[in-house]
Amino acid sequence: MSTTLAHRGLPPGATRFEMLRLFEQVARPGFGLSSSAVALVRHYVLKTMDGDYLTGRICAVWTQACRFAVALGLTPRSINSAERELEQAGFIVRNAGINGERAGDRQDGAIVWAAGINLAPLVDRFAEMRAKAEALELQARAIQQCRAEIRQLGQRIREADDDDLRERAETVLPDGRTARIKSIDRLIAIREALSAMLAAIESAPNTEARSLKTSDAPEENCAPNIQDKNSSRKRTAPECDPLERIRPTTALSVATEGYRNVVETLGGPTWPNLVEASWRSCGRLGIAQSTWGRACQQFGRERAALSVLLIDRNAELPLGHRYRVLSPGRCLSGMIRRAGTAGVNLSGLFRATERQAQQSQSGMTSPPIEPPPGPMSHLAARLMVGMERRVSDHESQDHLGG
């Protein structure tokens, strides 16, 4: 093997670090290479120079395998195995001298000859690696989209309240989870099977029309899609719910700018996107995932999403504002606790907040309107602060009692 194996060079504007990033992105999922092989290529690239990647140059390293082993914390045998793996995959050429000796010569910044590890195949496969990375990204998006559609179908199957349909769905997707399924073909088959089942039951005669809600909340943080009949979880959208009159676009009109940006990134104002945005906002607001889960169980996902949206708005009020929410987690816990006793008029809270938002946008500076007695007797901000204070008092009593 010639020790002067040259390469065609990287594309204009590409750097060796961009080449390395592409390799690390596709090495394991695209070519099945080991982590040791990936780490070794990184070490190779770091020992080369930018000029080695120009057209017609030699790009090689001739450091002994035992030194690579010390630098990477591996054994020389592991280095030899990784090099053999890379050679078989067509990313390097090993052309060591007699008895495996490695050597080379660099003059005026350019390698004249080298007996060791030649990286010409890696450089020449830049376009292939970029195409592979794009294909893997498209596949990942397709898998994510397919999983979201399966979650929506699972939600609709639960809402259908049909025992036979639920049992057949369990056969297609045991436990109702897709997180461990990596094959897009398998996911598509599951989606089509569930869709066909649901279409058959919805097109059957004398089937009552239902308004079925869906949610795109990540399945790792919620109950399995296909639940048994005795599930205690409340329906997401109970009949005659006043929230049915609140559209996602209307709800978004009172949200903070950051919250609206998240919804726009997800694809626009829909209830599934608002649920996802509220779930993501919990981390930013310091709301524990267990609290979010209890809110979804107590209110349903759409109500829980609207609650977090309102809390997020009041958390951004100016410092010292009488209605500023200081602890969003405690506030949501208070709403959950109140819902279990006196109930929470979430629709009334939203309407009061909506009026406040309209007053702020119109430049009105009049003092807050005291509401008359009745279902609208609590302004959103005042109730949220009250919730927060009640939870603080309750925690203090528990601490003293302990």
pLDDT at 25: 92
DSSP state of 173: S
Burial class of residue 32 in the structure, from the number of CB atoms within 10 Å of its CB (0-12 exposed, 13-18 middle, 19+ buried): exposed
Domain(s) of CATH 1.10.10: residues in the chain: 16-124
pLDDT at 197: 80
Q: How many CB atoms lie within 10 A of CB 388?
A: 24
> Which CATH code, of 1.10.10, 2.40.160, 1.10.287, 1.10.760, is assigned to 16-124?
1.10.10
pLDDT at 190: 87
pLDDT at 77: 93
| Tokens representing residue 370 in the block | 């005291």
Q: Do 287 and 332 form a contact (C-beta atoms < 8 A)?
A: yes
pLDDT at 18: 94
**CA separation for the pair 306, 68 (Å, rounded):** 56
- Give the CA distances from residue 110 to residues 60, 122, 185, 273, in Å, rounded to whole numbers and listed in that order: 11, 18, 49, 55
Q: What is the pLDDT along the chain (402 residues), one digit of tens a residue?
A: 445 689 999 999 999 999 999 999 999 989 999 999 999 999 999 999 999 999 999 999 998 889 999 988 999 999 999 999 999 999 999 987 667 789 999 999 999 999 999 999 999 999 999 999 999 888 888 888 888 888 888 888 888 777 788 888 888 887 777 888 888 888 888 888 888 887 777 665 554 444 444 444 444 444 444 444 444 444 454 445 556 678 888 888 888 888 988 888 888 888 888 888 898 888 888 888 888 888 888 888 888 888 999 888 888 877 777 767 788 888 888 888 877 665 667 777 777 777 777 766 665 444 443 433 333 334 445 555 555 555 555 555 554 444
pLDDT at 85: 95
**CA separation for the pair 261, 240 (Å, rounded):** 31
Percent helix, strand, coil in the chain, to 5, is: 60, 5, 35
